[in-house]
Each structure stands twice: as structure tokens, then as C-alpha cells.
Amino acid sequence: MSQRREWLLPQQENAILVDSYTSSTDGPTIYIDIQSLARLNEIEVLMRDLASGKSKCFALSELTDMYWVPPIREILLSISKAELLVTTKQDGDKLVCHWSGNAEDWLDSADKVRELASGPGHQYFEDRNLENPTVKLAYLE
């Protein structure tokens, strides 16, 4: 577990931490930190619901026990006809991330999340535009 997470969320392994930053190697990044297998499975189910058409859009703020580090305030997951796309927009002093993809993209993403269940690690989700942010989903790191 990172020192930052321990400082922000001491003893709250069930909470999902969402942060944003810019690094010299990855550029703009939306960071989702998960410490609980049940919460990781919850994210996988959301992605599979998008892939199957059961859901068209989901706001991560609808989940319980979310901790948002300003300025990030929302991540919207949605199904689209286009390929994977991750964008952000400023909404006043808040940052909103829109993560969309077609059914195949969401199925691939769900499979990547499932792979994380075997132990500590992370997966990157990014589109072809290098100026757009990358979503980094970390489990038990």
C-alpha cells in the first residue's frame, strides 16, 4: 500500500482512491487505487455490463466508499461505437474524466481487471492519442 494512500485513507482498505497527476513518463494520468478484491470485482462487473449492453453509462461517483483527490471529481464510463477514448475536461475547479469504448474494448478491459485479481499489480488503459490521459488501475500496490 502506498504511503500516500495510507496517509489519506488510514485503515480503509475497502475505499477506492481516485487521484490525478502528470508524470514525465506517462503524462496525464487518472489513478484508481483498489485494495479490496470485492471492490476490484465490482469494477470488473461494471465493465462487463457495458460490454454486454446491460448498461450504457455509469458514473463511478455512484459507488460507495469512493475517495476523490481534488481536482478529480468524476469518472464516467460509457459504451460507444468508436474505439477506446479517455478524455478529461475541467468543470469549474473540478476535473471530469470520460472513459468510453465499444463492447470489445470493455470486454478487454474487464479481462485486464480480472487478471489483477491474482495479486498486486496494475493495468493501463489508454487510447491512441498520446495527449489524452491514461487510466491506471492499481490493485494492492
pLDDT value at residue 133: 96
The pLDDT score that the predictor gives to residue 1 is 66
Give the mean pLDDT of 82-98: 93
Residue 60: how many other CB atoms lie within 10 Å: 18
Domain boundaries, the chain: 37-139
Question: What SS3 class is residue 55?
Answer: coil
Q: Nearest 5°: CA angle at 46, between 43 and 20?
A: 50
CB 86 within 8 A of CB 126: yes
Q: What is the residue-wise DSSP string for 20-43?
A: EEEETTTEEEEEEEE--HHHHHHH
Give the three-state DSSP class for 70.
coil
Q: Name the pLDDT band for 123 (thresholds 50, 70, 90).
A: very high
In the three-class reduction of DSSP (H, G, I as helix; E, B as strand; rest coil), residue 86 is classed as strand
Q: What is the DSSP letter of 104?
A: H
- pLDDT, average across residues 120-137: 94
pTM over 0.85: yes
